[in-house]
């Protein structure tokens, strides 16, 4: 019956049959249509609408019940067949699975980090409501100014958008009663802190309002890590006591593992237990800013509404307290989602690594597609014979897709193992970028991602190979296994795949190259000091013991004298911190605004700012920081003497470009106290090798008592020196906690760890890509040679020399490489702007990197084509022609 004469029912039934597998339809489709027709005719004879509905209902359910079963049968059959075929070519199977495993593994590993850090909500109830609030002095470039106690009170009372607001500041205290005096890091928080986040304690309780009242008995809540690592997961810890700050503190609870921000701390105490925070001065002085503030939005309030709310409060405060918020600072307040705050520094690096991993997977796909195409050339006869024997074309395509799916799932499973194995390393890496690193794990989302990667992969390379099989099936039998027309077309496809592999490898290599160049520049950059043989030890006196006007000056001097008297100590100093200290790098410079005597501020003009450090007289000598003008500090620059300062070259140049800085006077408190500049020293990269020098000032340690570090230049070996210094320091005061010892060289290396790891990971991906691409080029050239034995034989018979043949094959390999490099270079030019934020003194289009990468890639292509080219050159023309 012609299609046009068929009834609507018949056409609908035929359409319904399409959900059955092709083979089944081909076999029984006609019969089924006929049976349906006859059933319909019976129904029409009887003429009931109910019968007609019943006929359709049964037809529908019958086909929907049969279709899945038939598809399943075919899948089982195809899998069995595919497994047999893959077992027949084990090298192909192993190479394909390994290549895909590397690609999928790299993606899954990086995605598990991206998923845990960037995608999953923070582990708190309604975490999207949590925000981080900061004050800002925009005109002097300070975008993160902490809060003072009166300010916190104001923001708590005046806001309209927050359900709750909690404060935090980090403090280091010395803990007694558990072996050596231990310096612990403590978070000082308002009583509502944990309730606001919605953190339930793992043991005991968190803080209640009564804990925060003046004079309340001091209590502690321990962090999970401290409880686990330093207290051996003691289940009876609640109720035990610690002595700290001359007071006995009782542990009331232990936290579950939660991300800690802005610092990772060992324990928490309420504000009333912190001797600084609970002092009258801190509670009353609007300008003593050291607290961080977190908030929870009221339900239904948007981020934008809250930001406007905070800015409005800042505006009102500025009007009410003009002295605390000078107009020329550009004072305001802003808020951002807490999740963003916890992850923003990790985001660019992680996204770049994910993009790199996707590139590796694409290269792996292209490579496996190429392998499959080469294999297809050998299987052409088998496939053609099957077609001739009646296998439908789509049936064969289905078979090929099943084979690619088996390879991809094999690769995916192995890739998952790779990802799992690398998780520990990645967690360590990520912990340098975000406090969420410990949340990294392989969860359902990651498994789904790996599954999607495997399915996507099998679709990409399976479709490529299936499409070309389809084009060739009809010609395979007629033209023999190396059919010229289809072969050409397939070779073009293979060449395109190779070119794309090289292009993607080029982009990856450029990314890695730029990061490595940055790293090299960072290593070469002059830090402004001589790090060799300098030791830094972080020390903390038990401050509770040294009360009075001049708490530390005396003991600090004693310690310094004792250290200096040691044989092998060339020079020693005491300071607030040391260059490239981890906390200096994460915290950045402290911004103090000041005024210069005789230089009145114009209204609206931003005051100069500088980071201020404390140093004892030999600080500059010990670190090898050059004195450029004036003098360094002397022992006479003590608390009773005139206040003095030494400034950095950068500050000198920005404030007194054409005159002397020495002798100038500056004030930090609107003229209440004046300090005289007595010297100018060289610039130091204190806050990271990639952090350009800023305005810096040094004050004598005897005038600030900001004691934190002992520095010494020594001729001893560092480990022995550290042991000895411990004894010397404890000899002066046994209650001194020594919390960190390292050489400045180690600190310098450590500061480069994060860029080094990023460069290493990207380099690893790029190396992987290069390897896969090289194998691809080698493979396709070998195949091309084997297909052209006859032609090469003729050329040689006609007088072509071996060198010509060698040159011809090498030339073809190099042409592909050049094309790939050209396309890759265009891609790289477009993409490298993405990694700009990770680069240091290298432009994203650095010609040197592009040149080196191009040469490396071209050389790799040349080497990879050399083996097949040599084989081509050794072809015996007589043998080749006889072989035909």
Partner 1 sequence: MAKTNDVQSHLPLTPAMFQILLALADGEKHGYAILKEVALRTDDKVRLSAGTLYGNLARLESSGLIVESQKRPETRFDDERRRYYRLTEFGREVAVAEANRMDEALGQARAKKLFRKPRLA
CA torsion 402-404-409-411 (nearest 10°) is 160
Cβ proximity to partner 1: between 13 and 294 the closer is: 13
Among 7, 61, 636, 837, binds partner 1 (CB under 8 A): 61
Helix (H, G, I), strand (E, B) or coil at 875: coil
Which stretch in 57-65, 213-221, 225-233, 463-471 sits in contact with partner 1 by CB under 8 A? 57-65
Displacement of CA 364 from its chain's centroid (Å): 23
639, 671 contact by CB (below 8 A): no
Cβ proximity to partner 1: between 56 and 321 the closer is: 56
User: Rounded to an integer, what distance in angstroms lies between the CA atom of residue 123 and that of residue 261?
Assistant: 13
Cβ proximity to partner 1: between 20 and 314 the closer is: 20
> Which residues, 6 or more positions from 731, have their beta carbon under 8 angstroms from its beta carbon?
562
DSSP 844: T
Q: What length is written for the chain?
A: 884
- Which residues, 739 to 798, sit near partner 1 by CB under 8 A? none
Give the pair of three-digit tokens for residue 604.
């609206």
Residue (of 239, 251, 234) closest to 186 by Cα position: 251
User: Rounded to an integer, what distance in angstroms lies between the CA atom of residue 616 and that of residue 737?
Assistant: 20
**Shortest separation between residue 32's beta carbon and partner 1, angstroms:** 4
**Shortest separation between residue 405's beta carbon and partner 1, angstroms:** 22
Output helix, strand, coil percentages for the chain, rounded to the nearest 5. 60, 15, 25
Among 5, 46, 65, 882, binds partner 1 (CB under 8 A): 65
567, 728 contact by CB (below 8 A): no
Cβ proximity to partner 1: between 65 and 882 the closer is: 65
Give the pair of three-digit tokens for residue 394.
């789509």
Among 9, 66, 482, 746, binds partner 1 (CB under 8 A): 66
Helices and strands counted in the chain (H then E):
26, 23
Among 7, 53, 58, 692, binds partner 1 (CB under 8 A): 58
Among 10, 22, 63, 445, binds partner 1 (CB under 8 A): 63
**Shortest separation between residue 18's beta carbon and partner 1, angstroms:** 13
**Shortest separation between residue 15's beta carbon and partner 1, angstroms:** 14
Is 84 a binding residue for partner 1 by CB under 8 A? The answer is: no
Residue (of 421, 457, 355, 354) closest to 97 by Cα position: 457
Is 48 a binding residue for partner 1 by CB under 8 A? The answer is: no
**Shortest separation between residue 794's beta carbon and partner 1, angstroms:** 51
Cβ proximity to partner 1: between 74 and 775 the closer is: 74
Residue entry with tokens 């999953």: 120
Binding mask 111-150 for partner 1 (x = CB under 8 A): ----------------------------------------
Among 10, 14, 22, 70, binds partner 1 (CB under 8 A): 70
Binding mask 6-45 for partner 1 (x = CB under 8 A): -------x------x---x--xx-xxxxxxx-xx------
Which stretch in 56-64, 687-695, 703-711, 796-804 sits in contact with partner 1 by CB under 8 A? 56-64
Give the pair of three-digit tokens for residue 357.
């991993």
**Shortest separation between residue 9's beta carbon and partner 1, angstroms:** 12
User: Rounded to an integer, what distance in angstroms lies between the CA atom of residue 250 and that of residue 220?
Assistant: 6
> Which residues, 6 or more positions from 215, have their beta carbon under 8 angstroms from its beta carbon?
272
Is 3 a binding residue for partner 1 by CB under 8 A? The answer is: no
User: Rounded to an integer, what distance in angstroms lies between the CA atom of residue 794 and that of residue 268?
Assistant: 85
- Which residues, 462 to 481, sit near partner 1 by CB under 8 A? none
Cβ proximity to partner 1: between 67 and 794 the closer is: 67
User: Rounded to an integer, what distance in angstroms lies between the CA atom of residue 853 and that of residue 507?
Assistant: 9
* Sign, Cα dihedral of 185, 191, 197, 201: positive
> Which residues, 6 or more positions from 63, have their beta carbon under 8 angstroms from its beta carbon?
16, 17, 19, 20
Cβ proximity to partner 1: between 32 and 615 the closer is: 32
Cβ proximity to partner 1: between 63 and 153 the closer is: 63
Among 18, 44, 48, 64, binds partner 1 (CB under 8 A): 64
Cβ proximity to partner 1: between 23 and 212 the closer is: 23
Residues engaged in binding partner 1 (CB under 8 A) = 13, 20, 24, 27-28, 30-36, 38-39, 58-59, 61-67, 69-70, 73
């Amino acid at each position: 019956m012609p299609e046009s004469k068929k009834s609507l029912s018949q056409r609908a039934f035929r359409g319904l049959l399409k959900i059955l597998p092709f083979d089944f339809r081909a076999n029984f489709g006609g019969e089924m249509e006929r049976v349906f027709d006859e059933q319909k005719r019976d129904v029409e004879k009887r003429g009931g609408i109910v019968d007609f509905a019943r006929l359709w209902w049964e037809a529908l359910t019958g086909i929907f019940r049969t279709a899945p079963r038939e598809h399943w049968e075919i899948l089982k059959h195809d899998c069995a067949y595919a497994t047999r075929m893959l077992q027949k070519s084990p090298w192909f199977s192993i190479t394909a699975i390994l290549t895909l495993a590397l690609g999928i593994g790299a993606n899954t590993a990086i995605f598990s980090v991206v998923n845990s850090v960037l995608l999953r909500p923070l582990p708190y109830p309604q975490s999207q409501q949590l925000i981080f609030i900061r004050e800002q002095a925009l005109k002097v470039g300070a975008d993160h100014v902490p809060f003072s106690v009166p300010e916190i009170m104001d923001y708590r009372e005046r806001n309209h958008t927050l359900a709750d607001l909690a404060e935090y500041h980090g403090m280091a205290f010395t803990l007694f009663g558990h072996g050596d005096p231990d310096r612990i890091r403590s978070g000082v928080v308002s009583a509502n802190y944990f309730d606001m986040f919605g953190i339930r304690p793992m043991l005991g309780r968190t803080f209640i309002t009564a804990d925060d009242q003046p004079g309340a008995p001091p209590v502690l809540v321990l962090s999970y890590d401290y409880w686990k690592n330093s207290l051996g997961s003691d289940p009876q810890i609640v109720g035990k006591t610690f002595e700290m700050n001359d007071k006995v503190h009782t542990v009331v609870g232990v936290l579950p593992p939660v991300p800690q921000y802005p610092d990772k701390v060992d324990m928490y105490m309420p504000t009333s237990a912190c001797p600084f925070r609970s002092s009258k001065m801190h509670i009353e002085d609007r300008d003593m800013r050291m607290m961080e503030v977190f908030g929870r939005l009221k339900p239904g309030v948007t981020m934008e509404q809250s930001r406007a709310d905070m800015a409005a409060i800042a505006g009102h405060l500025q009007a009410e307290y003009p002295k605390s918020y000078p107009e020329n600072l550009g004072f305001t307040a802003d808020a951002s989602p807490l999740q963003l705050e916890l992850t923003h520094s990790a985001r660019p690096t992680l996204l770049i690594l994910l993009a790199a991993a996707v590139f590796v997977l694409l290269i792996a796909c292209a490579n496996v597609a190429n392998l499959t195409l080469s294999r297809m050339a050998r299987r052409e006869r088998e496939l053609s014979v099957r077609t001739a024997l009646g296998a439908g074309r789509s049936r064969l395509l289905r078979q090929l897709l099943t084979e690619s799916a088996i390879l991809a799932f094999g690769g995916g499973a192995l890739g998952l193992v790779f990802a799992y194995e690398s998780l520990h390393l990645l967690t360590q890496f990520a912990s340098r970028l975000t406090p969420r690193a410990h949340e990294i794990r392989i969860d359902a989302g990651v498994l789904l991602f790996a599954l999607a990667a495997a399915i996507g992969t099998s679709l990409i390379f399976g479709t490529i190979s299936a499409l070309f099989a389809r084009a060739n099936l009809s010609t395979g039998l007629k033209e023999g296994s190396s059919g010229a027309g289809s072969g050409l077309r397939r070779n073009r496809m293979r060449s395109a795949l190779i070119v794309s592999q090289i292009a993607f490898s080029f982009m990856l290599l450029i990314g890695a190259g730029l990061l490595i160049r940055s790293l090299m520049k960072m290593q070469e950059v002059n830090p402004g000091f001589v790090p060799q043989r300098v030791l830094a030890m972080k020390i903390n006196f038990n401050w509770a013991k040294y009360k009075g006007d001049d708490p530390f000056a005396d003991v600090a001097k004693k310690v310094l004298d004792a250290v200096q008297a040691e044989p092998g100590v060339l020079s020693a100093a005491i300071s607030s911190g040391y260059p490239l200290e981890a906390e200096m790098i994460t915290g950045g410079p402290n911004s103090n605004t000041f005024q210069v005597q005789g230089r009145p501020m114009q209204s609206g003009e931003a005051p100069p700012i500088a980071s201020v450090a404390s140093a004892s007289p030999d600080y500059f000598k010990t670190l090898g920081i050059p004195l450029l003008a004036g003098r360094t500090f002397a022992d006479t620059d003590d608390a009773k003497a005139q206040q003095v300062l030494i400034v950095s070259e950068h500050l000198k140049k920005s404030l007194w470009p054409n005159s002397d800085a020495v002798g100038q006077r500056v004030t930090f408190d609107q003229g209440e106290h004046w300090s005289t500049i007595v010297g100018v020293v060289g610039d130091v990269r204190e806050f990271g090798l990639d952090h350009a020098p800023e305005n810096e000032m040094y004050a004598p340690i005897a005038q600030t008592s900001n004691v934190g570090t002992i520095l010494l230049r020594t001729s001893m070996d560092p480990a022995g020196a550290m042991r000895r210094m411990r004894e010397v320091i404890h000899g002066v005061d046994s209650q001194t906690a020594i919390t960190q010892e390292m050489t400045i060289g180690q600190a310098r290396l450590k500061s480069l760890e994060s860029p080094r790891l990023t460069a290493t990971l990207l380099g690893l991906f790029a190396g992987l890509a290069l390897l896969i691409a090289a194998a691809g080029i080698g493979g396709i050239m070998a195949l091309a040679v084997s297909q052209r034995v006859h032609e090469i034989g003729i050329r040689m018979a006609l007088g072509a020399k071996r060198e010509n043949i060698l040159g011809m094959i090498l030339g073809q390999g190099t042409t592909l490489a050049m094309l790939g490099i050209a396309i890759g270079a265009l891609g790289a030019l477009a993409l490298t702007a993405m990694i700009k934020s990770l680069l240091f003194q290298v432009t994203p289009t650095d010609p040197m990197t592009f040149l080196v990468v191009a040469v490396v890639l071209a050389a790799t292509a040349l080497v990879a084509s050399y083996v097949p080219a040599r084989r081509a050159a050794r072809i015996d023309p007589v043998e080749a022609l006889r072989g035909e």
